[in-house]
Copies of this chain bind each other. A is one copy, B any other.
Amino acid sequence: MLSMQLQIVCNWTAPVAKAGHRRGPGFASQPALSHSRAMNESMIQKPDYETALREAGVRITRPRRVILGILSDAEDHPDAMEIFKRSVAVDSSISLSTVYRTMKLLEGIGAIHRHAFEGGPSRFEPAVGEHHDHLIDIETGDVIEFHSERIEELQQEIARSLGYDIVHHRLELYGRRRRKK
């Protein structure tokens, strides 16, 4: 039986998933595995975008400040249109172009990550904390972050055995909440 193999390491209580596409663990009905961890809320830090931008030598403008604020506050993985809508709610003069340009800029300096989850526009998340992969709830669109050092190692081994160095990778699990019985 599979669960017998699981070594329980921590048993943090995860918050129930909220509506929308929330960042962070939506829900965990069981403890995380020894070789993996779900990311919990304490891992969600607010990135200091302004410093990052200054270091990149770009100007800090009002639209950028607004968008950056939206990104900092986002607890989900919003797409450009969603970021645009939230930005417009703060400053109605902001344009979608500027959102896209800012996303590209931030991605360029490594401040955010772009995810092209299947069948939809790119979604973004602040590049804070450690690397993680994603489990996408195919019914709600919720995204749960997790990390498995074992899988990372195995990927490295496989790439090496094929004669390659990994530049980056993408691991996405698309799943459905197991209804508790």
Contact = CB atoms under 8 A, between A and B. Distances in A.
A174 B20 CA distance: 30
Contacts of A146: 158, 162
A164 B135 contact: yes
B168 A174 contact: yes
A151 interface: yes
A138 B166 CA distance: 10
Which 4 residue pairs across A and B have the least CB separation, nearest first?
A29-B163, A164-B175, A170-B172, A166-B175
Q: How many copies does the complex hold?
A: 2
Interface stretch (A2-10, A46-54, A68-76): A2-10
A148 B158 contact: yes
Contacts of A175: 159, 164-167
Interface in A119-164: 135, 137-138, 144, 146, 148, 150-151, 154-164
Interface residues of A, number: 51
B174 A2 contact: no
A154 B2 CA distance: 11
A173 B144 contact: no
Max chain B C-beta neighbours (<10 A), residue from A5, A118, A171: A171
Contact of A137 (B6, B160, B164): B164
Contacts of A172: 169-171
